[in-house]
Amino acid sequence: MLGQGFVSAAAIAASVLFILSLGGLSNQEKAKRAVWYGIVGMALAVVFTALGPGIGAYWLMIPMIVAGAVIGWWVAKRVAMTEMPQLVAALHSFVGLAAVFVAWSADLERRRVLAVRATEGAAEEFSAFAALVATKAPDELTFLQLEVVFAIFIGAVTFTGSVIAFGKLAGKVDGKPKQLPGGHLLNAVAAGLCLLLAIAYLNGAGFWTLLVLAALSFFIGYHLIMGIGGADMPVVVSMLNSYSGWAAAAIGFTLSNDLLIVTGALVGSSGAILSYIMCKAMNRNFLSVILGGFGGTSGPAAEIEGEQVAIDAGGVAAALNSADSVVIVPGYGMAVAQAQNAVSELTRKLRAAGKEVRFAIHPVAGRLPGHMNVLLAEAKVPYDIVLEMDEINDDFPDTDVVIVIGSNDIVNPAAQEDPNSPIAGMPVLEVWRSRVVFVCKRGQGTGYSGIENPLFFKDNTRMLYGDARDSIDTLIPLIE
């Protein structure tokens, strides 16, 4: 058992490591070291919290920690990089559900303290947390109740919302926005009932109010995310990340755990900032994403003229061999086909032939922020040729060949040309301004978001149909 001084010192050290970890993730070259900062910080947090004053029941805690570590290791080993977005969503759901359980437990302990006080029981009968509650004045107990309400509401919304986000990302739930009859009115009514239940709870109503509050919040999380289209899932995952942080911070206040407060605030604020950045990159209002959903239309879509013209690998190779500059635009299709290593090999061969090769990364490419960057780093693509949209968009008119691999919305000219398009106003990679565009695509479908792409019908676009990895593997030996 360690004294509170050691625990506080460890909390400060862990907080600093978490901040360094977040800061380092902004740079690809520093990201690996930043992850280790986070790992060490979390190890410090768990160990010193477990050894802190008032902590017991190690006979139960240690097996649970070991079981959790083994399950986490097993899941991490099995999950492919293409499944990382849904794994993140699933992990958010665990945080939300944990917040609900801890909040329920906190209120039960509060009620126990009040019952013991009423019978003039001894404080030594209390558990460590109940003993902490016993030291609180009446107004402090009111704040504890507020923390419990907030933690249950935000935790429950995070749980069911994350479960639905997981389902949409994994393809187990239809990616199209769907709501029950009544739409947003149902969410508003449920939120209003949650407020009434919170008021009743603060005025002495029974534990049942927290159970009903949780049930309504579970519904809000489910219905809210069901009403958001699949193309907005990257923003939704980031938002749920923020929610899980605020839920953790609320529980930190409830448990008087400074480290949990700091960590939750870091996660909550960084997730909110990332959600804002992504909405800005998509020219989307944050509230319209959360309340409206992506995929609805504001009018009849513009008619698309022309037809998709197919090309074989030989034709693409001929254009690449005569090109001086090449830009590759990766999307989720590259991740699904696990084509990143083939793309890396193609890049190496093109550069060896004296071609200028660069990558154009849209802020919301893939289904998770940085998804494409991680895949390319895994395939050892040099960091200095991986450029963000703002860095490369003006260079497309001077580019000989663009290869689009499994992307749709982020290269869709309808964002600029069709005011009735669901993605109207969204900044996109203007690949159509290059001399020729080759699109690696499985077929003629509209893709995950269900939006038709006029790029595929333009005169300077050719479609290379088939699995992305097979297509790129066929190209590589044809490069001279």
pLDDT for residue 128 = 64
Cα 138 to Cα 113, 134, 144, 256: the distances in Å are 12, 10, 10, 16
pTM of the model: 0.80
**SS3 at position 373:** helix
pLDDT at 363 over 50: yes
pLDDT at 296 over 70: no
pLDDT for residue 295 = 44
pLDDT at 301 over 70: no
Tell whether 71 and 9 lie within a shared domain: yes
Domain span at residue 377? 313-478
Q: How many residues does the chain have?
A: 480
What is the pLDDT averaged over residues 286-315?
A: 69
Burial of 403 (0-12, 13-18, 19+ CB in 10 A): buried
Residue 305 in any domain: the answer is: no
Sign for the CA dihedral angle at 307, 312, 316, 318 comes to negative
**82 or 402, which is more confident?**
402
Residue 196 in any domain: the answer is: yes
Report the DSSP beta bridge partners of residue 358: 327
Residue 302 in any domain: the answer is: no
Residue 11 in any domain: the answer is: yes
Residue 206's nearest CA partner among 145, 261, 153 is 145
Tell whether 139 and 73 lie within a shared domain: no
Cα 209 to Cα 102, 107, 151, 318: the distances in Å are 16, 11, 14, 70
Active site residue 390: no
Residue 306 in any domain: the answer is: no
Report the DSSP beta bridge partners of residue 330: 405
Tell whether 58 and 138 lie within a shared domain: no
Residues sharing a CB contact under 8 Å with residue 262, sequence separation 6 or more, in sequence order = 11, 15, 18, 252
Chain mean position to CA 224: 16
Q: Please state which of the ranges 110-124, 282-296, 416-430 shows the lowest mean pLDDT.
A: 282-296
What whole-number distance in Å separates Cα of residue 67 and Cα of residue 205? 38
The pLDDT tens digits for 255-281 are 888 888 999 999 999 888 888 877 777
Q: Angle at which helices 468-475 and 313-322 pack, to 10 degrees?
A: 50
Residue 122 in any domain: the answer is: yes
Residues sharing a CB contact under 8 Å with residue 85, sequence separation 6 or more, in sequence order = 169, 233, 234, 237, 366, 367, 368, 371
Last residue of a domain, one of 50, 78, 106: 78
pLDDT averaged over every residue in the chain: 85
pLDDT for residue 111 = 84
Cβ atoms of residues 21 and 35 within 8 Å: yes
Last residue of a domain, one of 51, 78, 105: 78
Tell whether 323 and 436 lie within a shared domain: yes
Report the DSSP beta bridge partners of residue 440: 405, 464
Q: Point out the catalytic residue in the list 390, 409, 467, 470.
A: 409
Tell whether 444 and 397 lie within a shared domain: yes
The edge-to-edge listing of strands for the beta sheet with 461-465 is 386-388, 356-361, 325-330, 401-405, 436-441, 461-465
**SS3 at position 150:** helix
pLDDT at 441 over 50: yes
**418 or 122, which is more confident?**
418
Residue 341 in any domain: the answer is: yes
Looking at the structure of the chain, the number of domains it has is 3
Tell whether 278 and 215 lie within a shared domain: yes
Cβ atoms of residues 257 and 383 within 8 Å: no
* CATH number of domain containing 349: 3.40.50.1220
Residue 347 in any domain: the answer is: yes
Tell whether 56 and 144 lie within a shared domain: no
Tell whether 197 and 327 lie within a shared domain: no
Q: Please state which of the ranges 21-30, 94-103, 398-407, 433-442 shows the lowest mean pLDDT.
A: 21-30
Residues sharing a CB contact under 8 Å with residue 351, sequence separation 6 or more, in sequence order = 357
**26 or 124, which is more confident?**
26
Tell whether 247 and 140 lie within a shared domain: yes
The pLDDT tens digits for 322-357 are 999 999 999 888 988 889 999 999 999 999 999 999
Q: Write the DSSP string, 44-100.
A: HHHHHHHTSTT---HHHHHHHHHHHHHHHHHHHHH--GGGHHHHHHHHHHHHHHHHH
Tell whether 198 and 340 lie within a shared domain: no
pLDDT for residue 465 = 92
Residue 225's nearest CA partner among 274, 157, 271, 279 is 157
pLDDT for residue 453 = 87
Long-range Cβ contact pairs of 279-287 (< 8 A, separation 24 or more):
279/235, 281/362, 281/363, 281/364, 281/389, 281/427, 282/235, 282/363, 282/364, 282/423, 282/426, 282/427, 283/415, 283/425, 283/426, 283/427, 284/232, 284/235, 284/426, 286/235
What is the pLDDT averaged over residues 408-424?
A: 84
Q: Which helix (H) or strand (E) holds 404?
A: strand 401-405
Cβ atoms of residues 233 and 207 within 8 Å: no
Q: How many CB atoms lie within 10 A of CB 81?
A: 16
Last residue of a domain, one of 78, 107, 136: 78
Sign for the CA dihedral angle at 74, 76, 81, 85 comes to positive
pLDDT confidence bin for 231, thresholds 50/70/90: low
Pairing of strands 325-330, 386-388: unpaired
Tell whether 102 and 182 lie within a shared domain: yes
Tell whether 155 and 279 lie within a shared domain: yes
pLDDT for residue 201 = 94
pLDDT at 51 over 90: no
**HEC assignment per residue over 407-463:** CCHHHCCHHHHCCCCCCCCCCCCCHHHCCEEEEEECCCCCCCCCCCCHHHHCCCEEE
pLDDT at 87 over 60: yes
pLDDT for residue 93 = 92
Q: What percent of the chain has pLDDT over 90?
A: 40
pLDDT for residue 321 = 94
